[in-house]
Each structure stands twice: as C-alpha cells, then as structure tokens.
Structure 1
Amino acid sequence: MGETVDPGLEKTRRYLPWVVAVALFMQQLDGTIVNTAVPTMAASLGVASLSLKSVLTSYTIAIGVLIPLSGWLADRFGTKRVFGFAVAVFTLGSLACGLSQNLPMLIASRVLQGVGAAFMMPVGRIALLKTFPKSGILRAMNFVIIPALLGPLLGPLTGGLIVHWLPWRMIFLINLPIGLLGLWLVKKHMPDHRGVENDRLDTVGFVLFGGGVALLSWVLEIFGEHSMDPLPVAGLAALSLALIGGYLWHSRRDPQPLLPLDLFKVRTFRVSVAGGFVTRLGIAGMPFLLPLLYQLGMGFTPWQAGLLVMPQAGAAIGMKLLTQRILGRFGHKQVLVVNTLLMGLLIAAFSQVGPGTPVWAILLFSVAQGCVSALQFTAMNSLAYADTSDAEASDASTMASTGQQLSISFGVAFASLVTGAFLGSIDRSDAALLVPALHKAFLLLGAVSVASAATFLTLKKSDGANVSGHGQPADTDP
C-alpha cells in the first residue's frame, strides 16, 4: 500500500539524494585520485611511497576523530547548516592541498579536508534517514551511491592523466567547481532536520575517545619506522588504549555519552558495525597497495594503472542496480556470509598478479572485486539501520560512520605496516623485492576478510527484512 506524501516532502525526497550524491562524489573522486598519484607525489616531495601513507591516514584520522560530533552538531544546528559547512571546509581544504609546497603543508591541508569529510556523509545519511521511511532507505542509499561511484570510476584514470600531463596539485584543485555546485545544491534542496532535544556535548567523552583514536592511528602509522625507539612507541600505544578504555568506562556513567554504546544491544547494528570494521580492515588497504603494485612493481604509468582500477568502480555501479534484488532474494545473513568469503579470496588472489600477468586477468580481478565490494558495503550499511528507531537515527549514523572511517584509517596503516614488515630493510624501489612483499600483504589482508565472515553467522535469516523486503511482499512506496 503506497504512502501519502505531501508535495513538499515529495520534492525533498526527489532532490535530497542528489545533494548528498554530489558531495560524496567529490569525496570519492578525491580519494581515488590521490591513491593513483601516490608514487608521483612521493617522487615530487622527495619521500618514499610507503611514507606517503601519512597523507592518506592524516585525512582518515581527522574523519575518525571528528565524526562522533556529527550527530550532535546536526541535532543542534540543523542538517542544512552543518552539511553546507562540511562541503565548504572540504572545498577549502582541497584548495590548500593544491597550494601545498611540502609534505607537512600537504598533511595539514589533508587534515582540513578531513574536517569537512567528517561531517559530509554522516550528516547526509542523517538527512536521508529522517526523510525516507524504513522501506525506502535501501533504495535511497543506492541512489546516492551510484552517482557517487562515478568518483572511483573516473578518479584513477583522471588522476593518472593529471600526473602524467599536469602538475600533481591539480588532483586537488579539480574539487573546486564540484564543491561550489554542492554548496548551491545545499542551499536549494537540503532539508533542515534538527533534534527534538538539544543535549549537551559530552566534552569529556570527546577528549577521551578522540584523543585515543588519534593517538592509536598515529602509532599504527609510525610503527615499524626504524628511526623510532620501540619503547616510546609501546608507551604511546598503551596510552591510546587507556584513553579508549577510559571512554568505555565514562560512557557507561554519563547519561548523554558522545557515542551511546547501548545501540550495540541491537543485534543487527552490532553485527553490521563490528563485522564491518574487521571486513574493512582487509579491503581498505587495497586502494593504497594496488597503485604500488601496478606502478612500482609492474612498471605501468599512472594513467595505465588508473585504467586497471577503473573496471572495479564500473562493476560496482552495475552491482548497485542489483543489490536490492539480491538482498530481497537471499537476505542479509546469507549474502554477507558468502560475499565476505568471496571478497577475502579475491583480495588474496591479487597475490598472483605481477610482472607478466595478462592484462585481461587483472581486469577480471578488478571487475570481480568491484562487484563483491559494492554488494558487501550496501548490505552492511543498510543492515545497520534496520532495527534502529527514528529517534536513534543521528546516533546510529554517527556510530556507524565512525566505525567505517576508523577501519579505513586502520586498514591503510595496517596494509602499509605489513608490507613494510615483509620488506624489512631491503631497497623498496627494487620491483623484484617489492612485488613478493606486496603479495604476502594481499594474502594476509585476504585472510583477515575471510575471518570476518564468522561475525555474520550470528545473524538471523529474518534480520534486515524490513529494509531488504526478504520474505515479504514487494514494497510499493515511492
């Protein structure tokens, strides 16, 4: 039975996914362009390619630290104002990246980008959750993701062509016109949802959690650097864990904690966030490692490496058109268990890619990875909101986004760490030595993803049915 929708809400539902999609497109385009350009940027700045992970992790650390504020800010100041602020700051951060003259300046500018990115997707997701009914969430999220996936589709080739023909700084300046378009769309079509109650900000919780996450991420980044004394590093790691532990203790005693852990009592939310965290640890390092394999290990130019990655995003777009049918047919549990195993095996399969591997085989792996990744992320993201109430929308979006970004940050650091460990002190510019180390890293990352499939076995067959329609009559809501 269809839902009666007033014209104003109907117009909002029509345009809101486009508003969020443009912002996400800019964010995704930036990420994939940067990954492709890592070797060229490293050579220009006079640093090793693996050392340039700080440009990636500083961005994701900033997101991970600040995302917990997104729900509170959206409830306090409204989704329209906070989302517009996020797009503006990300655009300014892109300009600063393009003007950076050295690695410290670039890292600082990436942090500024991260400040904007920390609020874009979580607040956009809050707006979607408060605008669409449960039965329409999966359809709305897919609509947002499909245009946004044009970023990963165009990013690798665009980044490769830019660094081949133009200064690498153009990979950031290309965001400026997109950001201006995003600001115009926010002004015209972003709804201004606010929380019913303006709760106070849990400042103590933010300091404990943010400080612990930032410190732990930094420790993971510098771990394995031969210039660092292991004792201070171990001390910092212990301090970071103590801060995070302090937050867990604090959150149980504060009536309005920064991240309400009671949400983890909801099984579908718990499995989605916890299982997704481990799964993303395996997949998150791939965009960082593949350009190293293709360019440094196999001798491809940046634009050629970009072409090898493009089919992954193209396949993801195609799979997004099928995810609702697949989830409706098989349900979240079966899809997540089987698909997670496939994803881990595909990551491990890249251990067979090296000099002499036929291009068609690389493209086949890329297409397969794009399909399973798109299905995996859609299933995990939609499951997180299956059993949360509308009143919990801000907290659920904030916590899910925090988990996703932390796993991405830790995944990049983990991938770099294990690759560096396999390399040891050997010459990292020697392709004959780099490729075997990357192969071992792919095997380990694949094993992590395979192991994460066990978390999805705790789901029930009916979990997520209210968003997927599994076992239910077809939904007719607009």
Structure 2
Amino acid sequence: MNAPITPLVLAVSLFMEQMDSTVIATSLPAIAADIGTSPVSLKLAVTSYLVALAIFIPISGWMADRFGAKHVFRLAIGIFAMGSVACAFAGSIEGFVLARFLQGIGGSMMTPVGRLILVRATRREDLVSAMAWLTIPALIGPLLGPPLGGFLTTYLSWHWIFWINVPISVAGILLVTRFLEDGAPREPRPIDLPGFVLCGLAVAGIVFGMSVVSLPALPIAYGYATIAIGLAASLGYVRHARRAPFPLLDPAMLRHPLFRAGILGGSLFRIGIGAIPFLLPLMLQLGFGLDAFHSGLVTFVAAAGALSSKFVARRAFRAFGFRDLLGFGALASALFIAINASFTPATPVALIMACLYAGGVLRSLYFTGVNALVFAEVTDADSSQATAINAVAQQISLATGVALAGAILDVSSRARGGAAGLTLADFHTAFLGVAGVAVIAAAVFLRLPREAGAAVSGHRARPAPAE
C-alpha cells in the first residue's frame, strides 16, 4: 500500500460526507424556517439520507467487484455532488428530502467502497494505522462543519453549505484518477436481486417508520404501517438468505466471533452517537438561544478531540488491546453523552467544550478500533461482504439514533402538554435515553478474551505470575 497516500485520497469522500452531516445539523433551524417546516420535522431529511445509505450499501461490494472499485468510487462522488446541488435548489420539505436521498445514493458507494479498497491494500497488522490515516482527514469535516455551517447560515445563506461540496467533489475525482490504482479484476458473486428488494424494504420501512412515529408532521399511522412492512420484509429476507446460494448480505459472516462483536457492539454504541449531531445543535439553539454560528463554535471541539486521538490509536490498542479499550471506552463515552444532560445556559462554555473534547477523543478511539476489529478474522475473499454488512449496520444504527432522539423529544414534550414547544428538559431526557443504549455496548466487548484480535492490535496479555 502506498501509505499514507491511499487512505488520504480515499478520505476525501469521508471528509465531504462528514462535513455535510455536521453542517446540516447546525443549519437545521434556518433551513426549516426557510422552507416552512419545524426543525424536528426536518429530521426526516437526515433520516432519508441514512435510509438511502442503508438501502444501497449492500450492493456496494458487488458494484466494486463488477465495475471496478476505482470507477464506482469516482461515480459515487459525482452523484453526491449532484445531490448537493439539488439540496441547494430545494424549496420545500418534500424536495429537500428527495435531494438528500440522492446524496445518500452517492454516499452509499463512497465510504464502503473506499474502505474496501483500503482493506484489500493493507496488511492486517497495519490495519489500525491505516484506519486512523483514513479518518484523520475525514475528521476535518466535523471540525470545520459546525463553525463553517453556522457562519454561512448566519451571515450568508444556508444554500452555501451545499454549494461547497461541488469543488470538493471535483478535487476528489481528480485525486482518485491520479493516485489510485485500478486494482486486479475480480469475479463478483451473482447479484441477489430478490435479496436486494427484501433488504431495501426492510431497512427503509424500519428506519423511515421509526422517524415518522416521532414526527408530528405526518400521521402516526404511516409510521406504524411502514415499520410493519419493514419487519415483514426482514423476516422474508432471513428466510430467503437461508436458501439463497449467494445471499446479498450473508448471515454466515456472523460465524466470526470478532466480526459479530464488532457489528453488535458498534451498532449499540452508534445509536447513542448518532443522536448527538441531531440533539446538540438543536439544544444549543432552541434551549440556550444561540444562533447557528455560535452553536457551531461550541460543538466543533468534539471533532478536534477525535482528530487528536488518531495519532495515538495504534499505540493505545497495542498497549490495552481491543477488549479493554473498547469495553471501558464504551462506558466512559456513554458517560460523556449523559453529561450533556447537565448543561444549562448557566454552564461555563469552557466546561461544555472540555467535555465535548474529551468525548470526541474517546469516541474516535472506539470507532478506530471497531472498524479494525470487524476485519480481524475476515479473509480477503469475504472482505466485500464484511464491508457491506458493517456499513449497513452502521447506517441503520445511526438512523435509529436520530429516530430514537426525535421520539424521546416528542414524548417528553407531549408529557408536558407540548404547548411551549421543546424545552431544555426535553433535550436532557433525550441525552440520558440515548446514553443508556450506548452503555450496553460495553458488555459486548468485555466478554471477549484479553487477546482478541491481537494479530491486528499487536497487544499481548501479560503472562500470569508463576506460583
């Protein structure tokens, strides 16, 4: 691998995607006011993006094998840019949701295909370092996103937060063309079209339905109906996958204990993390009375903490191993999610930023480890399946976090009568709720052996003392 050139070039997509998600989170109140809806209702646009990711990610590995990972990666960047332009021109919630869905189609191929290229080009013992290099530039997106999005929204127009994706996309396509190799041709598995339909219905139904249930702008019956469709499609897919010779997402991959732990533990933790970009900017603006720009100046420090952790990731996992660092890291990270429930307008800004910074450090180490752990036992032949399953699990859990946060806000508001709209107490309740889900992830990893994934982390447990 031409490290760190390969992961840095691949990180262009992560940079753009992560900056876009943090920018829109900061700008939700302004966008909602301009297109005539509420900030909580506009979370449907956030969810539609995640639904698109979860629907199309399962075929990303097959697309990369069939048409070449480099070509698919470049096409995905172009589609993402087209969706960004459509967002800038959207004048209604319906148009904005559809534009975000188009962005999601591009994003569904960018990140997983980029990660697949990296995994195939990296030795397993170098995987932690490679994942850290991949995410360092990507973390600049969340670092710049909140203050940049707040500045553009406050002093120019929210439309500019999407226009900036166009030059970044052009630069990304040029860098990929110049520096990435085409790679050896691969023979893809036969495409599982029935599985693709069932999987798409399952993911879209469940994630969209959860969002609608907590969305006062749409009849709640729509939400329950789509959840029912999603659950039925999920059962149908499980039955189909047991009989299909080449299932789209192969359940047999869960036979690998470390892969299984990474998927389950990572998903539980991401439910809590997925809610933060939605909850925190809204709490600072609706609960604290800050404008978008000053809200962004507060929240960007979490990304700064995440960025700083990448330089010590390899040494940390070599010293403590996956089990201890992921297990106790999940406990500490969940605590820092819950700390958000103690913030009030009287809390010193420096203290809030210090807590957000520390939480960013812990979460970044956690995700670097999880993304490496899921490939610790996976062969090169199964890497596309592992990438697709891991990416789908990530997006479903992130979407679940957004939907869960919205549901808690709505339930809390209704319990008070809802006449005054969302209050600070509603946000505090939501943070405690999602932190409670994230803390469960610790139990998944603390059950692993001490030397789990040692070939990747380089960790060796100390021998027991002689009697």
TM-score (norm 1): 0.93
**Aligned equivalents of 2:71, 2:436: Cα separation in 1:** 43
1:256 counterpart (246, 250, 253): 246
Where does structure 2 lack aligned partners over 5 or more consecutive residues? Answer: 463-467
Where does structure 1 lack aligned partners over 5 or more consecutive residues? Answer: 1-9, 474-478
Match of 2:142 in 1: 152
| Inter-CA distance 429–194: structure 2 relative to 1 (3 Å threshold) | farther
| Inter-CA distance 322–429: structure 2 relative to 1 (3 Å threshold) | farther
8 A Cα contact 1:20 1:124, kept in partner: yes
Match of 1:98 in 2: 88
Aligned-pair distance for 1:69?
0.6
1:434 and 2:423 correspond: yes
Match of 1:295 in 2: 285
1:460 counterpart (449, 457, 465): 449
2:433 counterpart (433, 444, 464): 444
- Give secondary structure in 2 for the equivalent of 1:39: helix
Tell me the amino acid that sits aligned with residue 253 of structure 1: R
Residue by residue over 1:211-233, the C-alpha shift from the partner in whole angstroms, topping out at 9 and shown as x without a partner, is: 11101111101104457665564
| Inter-CA distance 429–319: structure 2 relative to 1 (3 Å threshold) | farther
Match of 1:469 in 2: 458
Match of 1:389 in 2: 379
Match of 1:323 in 2: 313
Q: How does 1:214-225 map to 2 (within 5 A)?
A: 214-225=204-215
Match of 1:163 in 2: 153
Greater shift, 186-195 or 449-458, is seen at 186-195
**Aligned equivalents of 2:184, 2:388: Cα separation in 1:** 15
Tell me the amino acid that sits aligned with residue 249 of structure 2: L
1:131 counterpart (81, 97, 121): 121
Aligned-pair distance for 1:198?
2.7
1:368 and 2:358 correspond: yes
Match of 1:314 in 2: 304
**Aligned equivalents of 1:290, 1:138: Cα separation in 2:** 30
Aligned-pair distance for 1:267?
0.4
Tell me the amino acid that sits aligned with residue 291 of structure 1: P
**Aligned equivalents of 1:265, 1:288: Cα separation in 2:** 35
Tell me the amino acid that sits aligned with residue 322 of structure 2: H
Match of 2:32 in 1: 42
Aligned-pair distance for 1:68?
0.2
Residue by residue over 1:119-160, the C-alpha shift from the partner in whole angstroms, topping out at 9 and shown as x without a partner, is: 101101111111111111111111111111000001000000
| Inter-CA distance 366–256: structure 2 relative to 1 (3 Å threshold) | same
| Inter-CA distance 179–291: structure 2 relative to 1 (3 Å threshold) | same
| Inter-CA distance 440–425: structure 2 relative to 1 (3 Å threshold) | closer
Between the two proteins, what is the percent identity of the paired residues? 37
1:239 and 2:229 correspond: yes
**Aligned equivalents of 1:75, 1:224: Cα separation in 2:** 39
**Aligned equivalents of 1:406, 1:139: Cα separation in 2:** 26
| Inter-CA distance 142–95: structure 2 relative to 1 (3 Å threshold) | same
- Give secondary structure in 1 for the equivalent of 2:294: helix
Aligned-pair distance for 1:234?
3.2
8 A Cα contact 2:212 2:220, kept in partner: no
Match of 2:53 in 1: 63
Match of 1:276 in 2: 266
| Inter-CA distance 28–231: structure 2 relative to 1 (3 Å threshold) | closer
Tell me the amino acid that sits aligned with residue 166 of structure 1: L
Aligned-pair distance for 1:457?
2.3
Match of 2:182 in 1: 192
8 A Cα contact 1:50 1:416, kept in partner: yes
Match of 1:5 in 2: none
Tell me the amino acid that sits aligned with residue 142 of structure 2: P
TM-score (norm 2): 0.95
**Aligned equivalents of 1:228, 1:144: Cα separation in 2:** 39
| Inter-CA distance 408–224: structure 2 relative to 1 (3 Å threshold) | closer
- Give secondary structure in 2 for the equivalent of 1:257: coil
**Aligned equivalents of 2:461, 2:324: Cα separation in 1:** 16
Greater shift, 178-187 or 131-140, is seen at 131-140
1:417 and 2:417 correspond: no
Aligned-pair distance for 1:428?
6.3
8 A Cα contact 1:36 1:305, kept in partner: yes
8 A Cα contact 1:77 1:194, kept in partner: no
**Aligned equivalents of 1:30, 1:254: Cα separation in 2:** 38
8 A Cα contact 2:333 2:359, kept in partner: yes
Match of 1:338 in 2: 328
8 A Cα contact 1:160 1:303, kept in partner: yes
